[in-house]
Amino acid sequence: MITFLDSLRSRGRLAAGGADRAEPLDDGWWWGSSAPGQWDSPQTVLRLSQEPHWHACDGPVAPIDTLVRRLDSAALSAVHAGVRDWWLCRPLPACADRRRRWLELDGLAGRRAELWLHQVETGHQRLLLRSDSALLRHRVELPAGAADTVLWLVLRDEPVSAVGLWRSVRRVGERLAVDAPALRARLLDADRARLALRLRVHEPLLGLSMVLRHAGRRWQAPMALGAAAAGQGGGLWQGLLDVEAPALWWPHALGEPALHELELHALLPEGGRRVLPLGRIGWRRIVHDRPRGRLIINGVPMPAPLRRTRWVPGAQMSATEAAAQVAQARAAGIDLLDIASAGGPDADEALLDACDAQGLLIGHGLSLDSAAASAQLAQQLARWQARASLAWVRLPESVPGSVPESVITPVMQALPESLCLSA
């Protein structure tokens, strides 16, 4: 049997990873606990920990209380459930090249969470991030070329019910080093649409262009580099793409949800090219007919009353699971998923993708009640922009009868194609 320490020290288990885009890291974790403050870093853990206190997850990692419940009674008594420091770790496969890669964590619960990277052979360790919000998604760059490394996550001074990894973890590599783009997809009229894109690139390029595809048609437009960033090894790029006679996106009650594939095409200084997919765009216009209590999509009223159901996001779903559940809702005649997520998780990409593809509308509440409210708002708006299925965003009322401009303004700027409704 391979033990916890064996798995960390064995070079054979730290095989090279070849994933260029996304490498799931949900399996292969170990977990244990200590008294609060007993271990201050991974090196201390390896020096002082006792083998029986470590347990293999035996499947995808889960919140700590779920892992505790999986133990038998004898092992459970050794865990000392209560206020503890909770530790999780897994080997991180080495990469065969030195290209830039990032670690993405979609759900990290704990008031005092720390993420470490520890190199087994040298003993070198690095603190990658600290977090105090379960609703934030994290993305941190990993050092290039590091071999035989282990990821360590510590959730300090926490009750067992409050901590853990509750959504997916993965390592990603990108064909182009960019920040999250600012994307605007506007339907000007029935025969014209316009796509506006702005993003920051962190490497020098000779040229950058947007390419849009649908049903054998292709549109392309160049992007321009801001003069102030020229010659600095990257900078802010922006551009406009006009689309003649786009196929319209319709909710399933009115038609077919046509989607267009969006890509970035980059010309490299050394002469090669890179392509970065940016997802799928749906062209539609939505109006709220308040007197009649109905939505109007592309000038056509939705059947009234709107058939809707409450949806509570939980652990991250696979694309297959999300597609199946959305298909069930569509078959039942549901028009809209109402996601009231204030103070809770937001919908993940798999659900948004499935609703875009199957023509199911979404109404989504904002989550703004944590200490990281501004960061949560920025993340949500970046993920929701240009989503055809997003019919409205429900704004919370921090003061009775009013919604602060600090909330309204960024929502309307990021999501001009969706409705903003008060709670």
One DSSP character per residue, 19-57 reads -SSEEE--SS-EEEEESTTS--SHHHHHHH--GGG-EE-
The pLDDT, as a whole number, for residue 89 is 93
- Look-up: residue for tokens 């670690």? 103
Q: Which domains does the chain have, with CATH numbers?
A: 4-173 (2.60.120.260), 182-281 (2.60.40.10), 286-422 (3.20.20.80)
The pLDDT, as a whole number, for residue 400 is 44
Q: Residue 46: name the closest of 14, 4, 16, 80 by CA.
A: 4
Q: Residue 45: name the closest of 63, 58, 32 by CA.
A: 32
pLDDT in tens, the chain (423 residues): 344 455 454 433 333 333 346 889 999 999 988 888 888 998 888 877 766 578 888 888 888 888 888 876 655 655 555 688 999 999 988 877 777 788 999 888 888 899 999 987 788 899 999 998 888 889 898 887 666 789 999 999 888 777 888 888 999 887 777 887 899 999 998 899 999 999 988 888 999 999 999 999 999 999 999 865 545 567 899 999 999 999 999 999 999 999 999 999 999 988 888 898 999 999 999 999 988 888 999 999 998 888 999 988 776 778 899 999 999 999 999 999 998 766 567 888 899 999 999 999 999 988 765 656 778 888 888 889 889 999 999 887 654 455 667 778 888 888 888 888 875
> What pairs with residue 109 in β-bridges?
164
Q: Residue 118: name the closest of 204, 40, 177 by CA.
A: 40
Instruction: Tell me the whole-structure pTM to 2 decimals.
Output: 0.81
The pLDDT, as a whole number, for residue 17 is 32
**Structural element, H or E, at residue 374:** helix 373-384
Q: Residue 383: name the closest of 404, 405, 366 by CA.
A: 366
Measured CA to CA in angstroms, residue 70 lies from 58, 67, 75 at distances of 10, 5, 10
Task: State the Cα–Cα distance between residues 288 and 129, nearest whole angstrom.
Answer: 42
- Look-up: residue for tokens 């690139």? 201
SS3 category, 283? strand
